[in-house]
């Protein structure tokens, strides 16, 4: 499969996969392997002062030759918290990539688009390669691009909901007008959701819960990877036009009753 780029970063797979909610690291690594991904998201949190000693650190289990690490600012409800988290991620040696989230509301986890635009502007000027998480809204997608986002990541549906691509029309409009890669992020519940996003022309899909919360995460990871490739191929192939009435696949001429 042809590689693609976000900023200076090249990726072989168009599926980005999270590292949250797995039963253990072994299951997570097996799922990543099955998905074919080469970019994984991680979060930053305070070191647990009471229990850190017995825990293996996530950085100890990620093969950085194989996987690009994409840190996120998940759980940040203010622009300031998101900026601090991004800078801490860079200080951790994770490079300039940041999945920027500024969340507006705990129940919906929907993004605060205005604050995300402001934070994108600041981080882009500081040299970050910003992948900006946002609503399925063509206006905020354009604003993020203008603010310096290297990629815009409209949601398919709320984080962790598994509802799929709720507004394919808006995703299509975002794709039509974009000059940066578009990564559909969040809400992907199963393989067909990935295929829908890729058939619309998305450059990539990012998901976590759809794999981690499947009954068999490793098998679902494989399904997601296959759907990503299938959807991309279908997009490139160019689907047939839809029509209201049937059109026979076999010739009308030469039928035996004629």
Partner 1 sequence: MNITLNGQEKSVEPGTKIGSLADSVVSDRSRIAVEQNRVIVPRDDYDSVDVADGDVIEIVTLVGGG
**Residue 19 within binding range of partner 1, rule CB under 8 A:** yes
Contact residue for partner 1 among 209, 220, 225, 231 (CB under 8 A): 209
**Residue 51 within binding range of partner 1, rule CB under 8 A:** no
Using CA atoms, how far apart are residues 208 and 186, in angstroms rounded to an integer?
Answer: 8
Work out how close the CB of 244 gets to partner 1 at its nearest, in angstroms, rounded to a whole number: 41
**Residue 52 within binding range of partner 1, rule CB under 8 A:** yes
Using CA atoms, how far apart are residues 220 and 33, in angstroms rounded to an integer?
Answer: 12
Question: Is the Cβ of residue 23 or residue 246 nearer to partner 1 in the bound state?
Answer: 23
Q: How many residues are present in the chain?
A: 258
Question: Is the Cβ of residue 109 or residue 141 nearer to partner 1 in the bound state?
Answer: 109
Sign of the CA dihedral with 193 first, then 199, 200, and 203 last: positive
What residues between 175 and 194 interact with partner 1 by CB under 8 A? 186
Torsions phi, psi for 229 (to 5 deg): -65, -40
The gap from C-alpha 201 to its chain's centroid, in whole angstroms, comes to 14
What residues between 97 and 156 interact with partner 1 by CB under 8 A? none
**Catalytic status, residue 99:** yes
Contacts of 4 (CB under 8 A, 6+ apart): 10, 11, 14, 181, 203, 204
**Residue 45 within binding range of partner 1, rule CB under 8 A:** yes
Whether residue 21 contacts residue 212, with contact meaning beta carbons closer than 8 Å, is answered with: yes
Work out how close the CB of 69 gets to partner 1 at its nearest, in angstroms, rounded to a whole number: 8
Using CA atoms, how far apart are residues 175 and 203, in angstroms rounded to an integer?
Answer: 9
**Residue 58 within binding range of partner 1, rule CB under 8 A:** yes
Query: For residue 135, which of 173, 171, 169, 176 has the smallest C-alpha distance?
Result: 171
**Residue 21 within binding range of partner 1, rule CB under 8 A:** yes
**Residue 42 within binding range of partner 1, rule CB under 8 A:** yes
The footprint of partner 1 on this chain (CB under 8 A) covers a number of residues equal to 39
Q: Identify the H or E element spanning 183.
A: strand 183-185
**Residue 28 within binding range of partner 1, rule CB under 8 A:** yes
Q: Which of the following is catalytic: 55, 99, 125, 241?
A: 99
* Torsion region of 134: left, alpha or beta (phi above 0 gives left; psi -120 to 50 gives alpha): beta
Active site residues: 99
Residue ranges binding partner 1 (CB under 8 A): 18-22, 28, 41-47, 49, 52-53, 57-60, 69, 71-72, 74, 84, 87-89, 91-94, 159-160, 186, 206-209
């Amino acid at each position: 499969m042809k590689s693609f780029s976000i900023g200076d970063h090249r990726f072989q797979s168009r599926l980005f996969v999270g590292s949250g909610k797995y039963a253990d690291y072994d299951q997570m690594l097996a799922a990543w392997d099955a998905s074919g991904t080469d970019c994984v998201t991680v979060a930053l949190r305070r070191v647990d002062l009471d229990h850190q000693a017995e825990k293996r650190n996530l950085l100890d289990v990620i093969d950085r030759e194989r996987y690009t690490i994409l840190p996120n600012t998940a759980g940040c409800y203010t622009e300031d918290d998101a900026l601090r988290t991004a800078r801490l991620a860079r200080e951790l040696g994770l490079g300039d990539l940041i999945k920027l989230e500024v969340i507006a509301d705990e129940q919906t986890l929907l993004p605060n688009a205005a604050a995300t635009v402001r934070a994108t502007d600041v981080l882009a000027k500081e040299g970050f390669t910003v992948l900006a998480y946002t609503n399925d809204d063509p206006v905020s997608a354009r604003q993020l691009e203008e603010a310096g986002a290297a990629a815009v990541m409209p949601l398919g549906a709320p984080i962790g909901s598994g509802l799929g691509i709720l507004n394919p029309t808006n995703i299509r409009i975002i794709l039509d007008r974009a000059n940066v890669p578009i990564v559909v992020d969040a809400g992907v519940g199963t393989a067909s959701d990935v295929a829908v996003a890729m058939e619309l022309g998305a450059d990539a899909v990012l998901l976590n819960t759809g794999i981690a919360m499947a009954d068999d995460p490793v098998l679902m990871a494989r399904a997601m990877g296959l759907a990503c490739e299938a959807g991309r191929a279908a997009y490139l192939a160019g689907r047939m036009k839809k029509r209201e009435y049937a059109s026979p696949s076999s010739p009308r001429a030469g039928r035996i009753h004629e």
